Homo-oligomer: A and B are copies of this chain.
């Protein structure tokens, strides 16, 4: 007795396991069979909960986006109780800590998916595109406020700078994954922060 306690836990277990696999291996190279094997869930149960592998991945993407926006963006870039400069700094620290905990493996779950899926699946692309846009806007607001309160140079364009910062961050995560060192991320954060401020 005791080995039938998996009642009403299959769906959560599948989501948990698939979240890790999609991040590690990507969407396409992750097979439903591997998700099933690692989660101990039967195929028939999987297809009872999800109508397809795509539906599962889109649900997981939505969950990760929501989590990132409420746990990271809201608590750093949008945390108006601290100064814009410190908000941006805190944001970089959070991202660095995340990739340090991953030992520079896996990379950005959103960037990975954007590269893998943007050309071949419009559902993934529109979600990622809208999310990146909101992310840029959060950075932009932070910069705009930092210019107003004197944290940042007044001769920079907040919109352009925000776009540059997000691009640079995603590229740095890509480089960190390739070089297997956090340096691109740390150096990028340092350089961006310096460039935003007065000489």
Contacts and interface: CB of A to CB of B under 8 A. Distances in A.
Nearest to A105: B119
Interface stretch (A12-20, A72-80, A87-95, A190-198): A190-198
Interface residues of A, number: 49
Interface stretch (A45-53, A107-115, A137-145): A107-115
B112 A115 contact: yes
A175 B167 contact: yes
Contacts of A174: 111, 114-115, 167, 170-171, 174
Given A167-B188, A191-B161, A155 B119 contact: no
Contacts of A183: 163
Contacts of A98: none
A125 B178 CA distance: 6
A115 B119 contact: no
A172 B167 CA distance: 5
Q: Which of A24, A120, A125, A163 is the most central at the interface, judged by chain B CB atoms within 10 Å of its CB?
A: A163
A116 interface: yes
Interface stretch (A2-10, A25-33, A36-44, A56-64): A25-33
A158 to B, nearest CB: 11
A57 to B, nearest CB: 14
Contacts of A184: 163, 167
B177 A167 contact: no
Contact of A163 (B115, B188, B199): B188
B128 A178 contact: yes
**Nearest 6 A/B pairs, CB to CB:** A171-B171, A167-B171, A170-B171, A168-B168, A167-B172, A114-B178
A144 to B, nearest CB: 16
A35 interface: no
A25 to B, nearest CB: 7
Contact of A119 (B116, B166, B177): B177
